[in-house]
Structure 1
Amino acid sequence: MKYTITMSCGHEERIELFGSTKERDRKIDYFMSQGLCSECYKKKMQEEAEKEGFNFNSCVLPYISNEDGSILLSVWFSGNTKPFKDDIKSLGGYSWSERETGNDSYLLSKPMMCWNKVIKLDELEDEIIKAESIGANNIVTEKNLFEICHYQIALKKQKKWNEKKAIIESIEKPTVPEVLKGCTWNQKIYGRSGGYTIYPNGNKISITDDQKKEIENYLKLKKNIKIKLKLLTRCRNERHEKYIVDKCVKY
């Protein structure tokens, strides 16, 4: 049901309320004593933003980059950002969206909307320089419990990522048979002993029995590598991960 309510600022606002009669009455009382109309609320927010200034923030995230194992940070602008909208967009990568920080997963309310993006730890220094170049004040994030906790989580995950990377790099890579180099192939061998054929890139090529054996060994090694990599990326928990890592080493 929609109500026309005189807010505490003296202006009327048309608001739709839900819930029981008691709950709607409670909300009406609140709006009349403390609520602001849309325009007054915008004005209040802008005044608070101007008072806060134009700030650049950063926070460690509790996870890492799957691409290279880098520790990730959420960076965002707060305060009086409106006059700097175009400047922020010119820095690249920033979007007006709910911020992503280490603390937000512990909040009951939705994260605030702001100009933000996720970067790697080694990119922070350059990002600070760019932020300061458009007039932002660099705010050092307080070392609160959540941030310290998330940083330790990120370090732990980075260590695991590096261990997996080392295992993957230690896996023996099969040598591609000369007859298959640079080709696409359906991995099928036709014929019988003394008359085998394959079709790399769609072209018919006759191969010897020894070449057939070399290709089959290559396919077997390639299949084993795929199994190892699949096992490494499907770990359910730490105990399962240790089991998989040990299995891959002994494979």
Structure 2
Amino acid sequence: MMNEKNFTLAEKWAQEGNMSRHMSQDKQPTVLSDIYQAETNIAIWRREKSDTLEYSVKEFLSLNPTFKKEMILTPQDAFARVSESFANKMTELSEDIAELVDMFCYLFELKEVGMRLKVLDKAMCPKFHVDKVPCRLVTTYQGMATEWLPHDLVDQTKLGWDCNGLPDCESGLYQSESDIQQLDCGDVALIKGTRWEGNENAGLVHRSPELITNEKRLVLTLDFM
């Protein structure tokens, strides 16, 4: 149940005409199609990585501790081109990325996508923000996963420059640390941005997690071209 402060904040946004937004989640990949629902701004496939994929990821990180790659891929060439970018092929990881490219393109009727695969040792986007994209796929193969805030618990007037230089925990963007939600490693999420038609003021507010010393994070994102 929302506390009194959170209820007041949600009520305030409702009065200003903001449509409610919520999460959709399931253990089946078909849940990703829920992103087409007007009230959904994050759809989460709660999947468990296979043992072979886990092994492939760990081996990849040991051999490529600073890997960063951006590519434009099609469903037809994704596996071959991703495999070529890995010096030691990494078949299981390449296959998983190719499968996600295929799913993303099929869901949104795209011929190609922009892929980013990065090994991180610090938060890439440490402050809460919204993406200026229609929709982005994100999955974390290793390490802490993306943090996000439920739409009804966010004071949108405290985002970006409007935070007056204060950290998120002091700006009033959210009321309690318990408001912060987090994906699990292995989850595949579709995050709706501000360029999705009808979602201009309701992009999912999210951020990269803080990493502990010597921790590595392997993150994949897919974007519209």
Question: Same-fold call, TM > 0.5?
Answer: no
TM-score, normalised with respect to structure 1: 0.21
More strand by share: 2
TM-score, normalised with respect to structure 2: 0.23
Instruction: Please tell me whether Structure 1 or Structure 2 has the larger radius of gyration of its CA atoms.
Output: 1
